[in-house]
């Protein structure tokens, strides 16, 4: 049932601050489009990022589904009423990606990249291509750490910044929905968009308050509760993850 991830998928990111809850310095909310970038040579003016190809050894820790048509219908139940219709690519230019929960008779229950947090729905399995996942991320808001696991084995633990008391990072199980290359100084060289949304900010910078996992120019904030809800990493650390993690990778925030 599973297939290898396509060798290369380009994610064209247009305006990062429209999709991520504002975690950069105050006043740095605008991002502009420019030319493609390579993860090995990050550029502040880059907006198209190649997502790594992953062929996961068994046992895989999950399955991601990528839309293969311009519009995907999401159903309340297999063969039931349509809940919503989502377009691909997403507004950022990223391919529409879901994290699969379960499969029943040609239908997939999936986590949705939409409010409210934890939203699920059903999609026709023929509407997507499937690929195995081997990585997952686990964030501790108490310790301000992010831990990378590969097939449930610890790979590395990173120091990060998480949300403040007034704008906490939402807790729950989410996944990586897109990879952006911001052009402003506040978000570092790369930013993953998550399926998580701020539970305090319903909008930010003209966008819906989407949570991101991104770099930062404020190195002193790493290891603290300092963001508007996003997960901040050092620029070196987010660059390393940008070369490894495919869309659909699960991330748990506790």
Q: What is the CA radius of gyration of the chain?
A: 17
The reply to whether 131 belongs to the active site is: no
Catalytic residue among 23, 131, 228, 230: 230
Q: What single DSSP character describes residue 185?
A: G
The reply to whether 23 belongs to the active site is: no
**Cα–Cα distance measured from residue 171 to residue 142, given in angstroms and rounded to the nearest whole number:** 11
Which residues lie across from 140 on neighbouring strands? 145
Q: What single DSSP character describes residue 186?
A: G
Task: Select from 218, 245, 230 the least CA-distant residue to 163.
Answer: 230
HSE (side-chain half, CA atoms, 13 Å) at 6: 13
Catalytic residue among 23, 131, 214, 228: 214
Task: Select from 207, 189, 157, 194 the least CA-distant residue to 19.
Answer: 207
The dihedral through the CA atoms of 136, 139, 140, 144 has a sign that is positive
**Cα–Cα distance measured from residue 190 to residue 215, given in angstroms and rounded to the nearest whole number:** 6
Active site residues: 214, 230
């Amino acid at each position: 049932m599973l297939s290898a991830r396509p060798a290369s998928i380009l994610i064209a990111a247009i305006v990062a601050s429209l999709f991520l809850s504002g975690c950069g310095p105050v006043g740095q909310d605008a991002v502009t489009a420019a030319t493609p970038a390579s993860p090995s040579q990050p550029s502040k003016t880059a907006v198209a990022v190649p997502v790594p190809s992953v062929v996961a050894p068994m046992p895989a820790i999950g399955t991601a589904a990528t839309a293969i048509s311009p519009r995907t219908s999401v159903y309340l139940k297999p063969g039931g009423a349509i809940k919503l219709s989502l377009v691909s690519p997403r507004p950022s230019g990223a391919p529409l990606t879901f994290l699969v929960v379960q499969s029943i008779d040609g239908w997939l229950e999936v986590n949705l990249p939409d409010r409210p947090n934890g939203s699920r729905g059903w999609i026709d399995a023929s509407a997507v291509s499937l690929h195995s996942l081997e990585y997952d991320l686990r964030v501790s808001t108490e310790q301000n750490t992010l831990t990378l696991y590969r097939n449930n084995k610890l790979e590395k633990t990173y120091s990060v910044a998480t949300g403040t008391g007034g704008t906490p990072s939402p807790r729950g199980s989410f996944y990586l929905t897109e990879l952006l290359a911001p052009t402003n100084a506040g978000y570092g060289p790369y930013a993953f968009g998550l399926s998580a949304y701020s539970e305090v900010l319903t909008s930010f910078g003209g966008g819906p308050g989407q949570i991101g996992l991104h770099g930062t120019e404020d190195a002193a904030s790493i290891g603290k509760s300092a963001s508007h809800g996003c997960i901040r990493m050092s620029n070196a650390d987010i660059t390393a993850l940008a070369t490894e993690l495919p869309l659909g990778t699960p991330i748990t925030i506790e």
